[in-house]
Structure 1
Amino acid sequence: MPWLDWLSLFVRWFHVIAGVAWIGASFYFIWLDNNLRTPPQWKQDKGIKGDLWAIHGGGFYEVAKYAYGPEKMPDTLHWFKWEAYTTWLSGFALLIIVYYFGASAYLIDPSVKALSPSMAISLGLGLIFGGLALYELACRSPLANYPLAFGVGLVLLICVASYLATQWFSGRGAYIHVGALIGSIMAGNVFFNIMPNQRKMVAAVAGKQDIDPQWGASAKLRSVHNNYFTLPLLFIMISNHYPMTYQHPQSYLVLIAIMATAAWIRHFFNLRHVGRTKPGILISGAIAMAAIAVWVSWPHTAPHETSTVPAHISTTVTASNAELNAKSAGIDGSNGESHSDGSELNAQVSQIIAQHCVSCHSRKPTDDIFKVAPLGVVLDSWQDIERYAPQVVRRTTVTKDMPFLNKTNMTEAERQRIALWFAQRQ
């Protein structure tokens, strides 16, 4: 369905733009808050708690933070909320378009757990919103008064979610659902806490009433949580391009290790913003990333399905490429009518894929470049071919960008054969 690809492209594009705006604002305001300095007395007399001077874009900027609020509320007050909301909305739309509409290909992996699309989607939604509910309840409980205990609990929540996701879904589907959970927590922090508390503060200043310090403290705590989540979330957003991570036998441990290291590296920059430079954090983070790379790339035995083509088409296919080409749609002078029954056509397609695709798209690739199946798509068995049929036909007969650079020299006749097979199976 080409329209679905275009929809996915535009939503993904918008999601990246919104995410850049949100994460950029998060980084900027954490940096800004950590770099405010005690202002001169005349500013303090006006109620200014901290200020900062900066130069950018050919001009000077003076930023001031009030301890309470301005004497009079300005006519225009900028709120930072839609960066979070649009990122979450577009991300959830993308989750539906790619992983829920295409659940059989991208979310479900029978070798992990045989699920129906409806069950897989239900588990995915339960993981996202169940985890969000647990986080929100913990934030509103007495546990929030004990930062260390709360931090340990939050780490455990993400670890459990990572493990469950990899036991339910495909590698890509598992990682993206952990990312969706983290993104939902971050957007939830804005929606459930930061924005309501800021509205209370604005109303109090406008009404010349006292501000409850807890409003600002609670919102600041949630902002800090979001700040430490940013680098792990960014990794998950790009992880589907790197199947060596989510296809690893212990993919949940890979995910946890990378997220923890990313948050640790973010901690270095947060400390640096307040004048505390600890290069040991950055060095240990780099060593940890290198160790993860060595561990993930270390040769390992991957599980392999023994079944290939179903018994009813398991006869040896002896037709040569020339015979396949001659029998392809329209080439044999039959106006595109097939002279093969379903079993023969299945066997021919199986042979084409084995010749042109399986060297890369296999649980044990033999290609000289791709040592892990690109995007996690494996075509070792007939069950795999059926599962990825829409992707196979689209990439070989519509966009024609597969095989990669056509390095195995798939012919136009073979592409037509795949298209004919797909049309007959509908």
Structure 2
Amino acid sequence: PNVLAMSVPTGILLSLATIGIGWVVYDLLCRSPLGNSDTGLMLVLYGVLVFIAWGLTHLFTGRAAFLHLGAITATIMSANVFMVIIPNQKIVVADLIAGRKPDPKYGKIAKQRSLHNNYLTLPVLFLMLSNHYPLAFGTEFNWVIASLVFTIGVLIRHYFNTMHARKGNPTWTWLAAAVLFVIIIWLSTVPKVLTGEVKASSAAQVYVASAHFPAVRDTVLGRCSMCHAREPSYEGIYHAPKGVMLDTDAGIAEQAREIYLQAGRSHAMPPANVTHITDKERALLVAWFEQAGK
């Protein structure tokens, strides 16, 4: 379904349901017999997270999917603290005060949930800030990138956990994280033919082929696409003005003349220059259109 076409209350309910279901599934898995194996549980939970990431990108836009995945993860971490770790601690403290021997299961459960929170810290930070990184969510492989971000976060935390526990110096984790990061870079810039992105028309291809296009694309994405996108990020803008989309190569090329006129030759766009496009960038747009059109 197209979430953008839903009413606001429906969209909010869908978001809350998605986040709530994420916590319920996680909690049930932890309380199941699978919870007796920390390693086995974490592998299954990772598989579930990958599936959720894939599912969210089919339900929401890439930007919204990343934020929902971050919200699910943050909810799990918060609920672990307030619904498991603190209550278990209170039970143990009450037993000690009463002179009873605490049941070790409460400490074991709290330790397991704390371990999960520890490893989820870095991925949740990235996901909740991902709105600023369109190269991560603006690709057909965004769910793969999200999955790899979780792995990188786990590798980094494993290194520091091992070092702080004085159990070794697993420098291999940095190499593994670097390799995964390179894969993410490739996935975020993978040739468009692999992503199934709509290509520019034959008449617009000349603008994509221009030597100026890489710099023009960076300018347009940085100065225009916060409004002219499938899901605008500029506050108060909920739909791309006049339906003009400038968040893909094809979209930019098809609107080359309008970009040239509105932002190159004139200062009509951006309105009141709210994104602070520079004179140098406007000159670049002019050179791109005029030279490509010859």
The TM-score, its normalising length taken from structure 1, stands at: 0.50
Look up the equivalent residue of 1:220 and give its one-letter code.
K
Shift of 1:380: 7.3
Does 2:118 match 1:227?
A: yes
Superposed, which structure 2 residues align to 1:311-326 within 5 Å? Answer: none
Shift of 1:189: 0.4
Cross-structure match for 1:141: 32
Whether the 8 Å CA contact 1:131–1:157 is kept in 2: the answer is: no
Whether the 8 Å CA contact 1:129–1:181 is kept in 2: the answer is: yes
Shift of 1:197: 0.8
Cross-structure match for 2:290: none
Look up the equivalent residue of 1:148 and give its one-letter code.
T
- Provide structure 2 residue ranges, at least 5 long, that are not aligned to the other structure: 201-207, 245-268, 284-294
Look up the equivalent residue of 2:177 and give its one-letter code.
G
Does 2:254 match 1:402?
A: no
Shift of 1:150: 1.4
Cross-structure match for 1:238: 129
Larger Cα Rg: Structure 1 or Structure 2?
A: 1
> Quick one: structure 1 residues 386 and 219, their matched pair in 2 at CA, closer, same or farther if it must change by over 3 Å?
closer
Whether the 8 Å CA contact 2:141–2:187 is kept in 1: the answer is: no
Look up the equivalent residue of 2:157 and give its one-letter code.
R
Q: Tell me the matched-pair count.
A: 238
Superposed, which structure 2 residues align to 1:4-43 within 5 Å? Answer: none
Look up the equivalent residue of 2:25 and give its one-letter code.
L
Whether the 8 Å CA contact 1:245–1:254 is kept in 2: the answer is: yes
Cross-structure match for 2:141: 250
Alpha-carbon displacement from aligned partner over 1:338-393 (angstroms, at most 9, x marks no partner): xxxxxxxxxxxxxxxxxxxxx9xxxx987153485779646379x9x971359x9x
Alpha-carbon displacement from aligned partner over 1:282-328 (angstroms, at most 9, x marks no partner): 2121122123213322332463499xxxxxxxxxxxxxxxxxxxxxx
| % identical equivalent positions | 29
Cross-structure match for 1:267: 158
Look up the equivalent residue of 2:228 and give its one-letter code.
L
Instruction: Give the distance between the partners of 2:8 and 2:19, measured in 1 at CA.
Output: 17
- Provide structure 1 residue ranges, at least 5 long, that are not aligned to the other structure: 1-106, 307-358, 410-426
Superposed, which structure 2 residues align to 1:117-128 within 5 Å? Answer: 117-128=8-19
Superposed, which structure 2 residues align to 1:268-287 within 5 Å? Answer: 268-275=159-166, 276-287=168-179
More helix by share: 2
Shift of 1:185: 0.4
Give the alignment partner of residue 197 of structure 2, picking from 303, 310, 315: 303
> Quick one: structure 1 residues 403 and 128, their matched pair in 2 at CA, closer, same or farther if it must change by over 3 Å?
same
The TM-score, its normalising length taken from structure 2, stands at: 0.70
Instruction: Give the distance between the partners of 2:133 and 2:99, measured in 1 at CA.
Output: 55
Instruction: Give the distance between the partners of 1:258 and 1:235, measured in 2 at CA.
Output: 8
Give the alignment partner of residue 191 of structure 1, picking from 51, 69, 82: 82
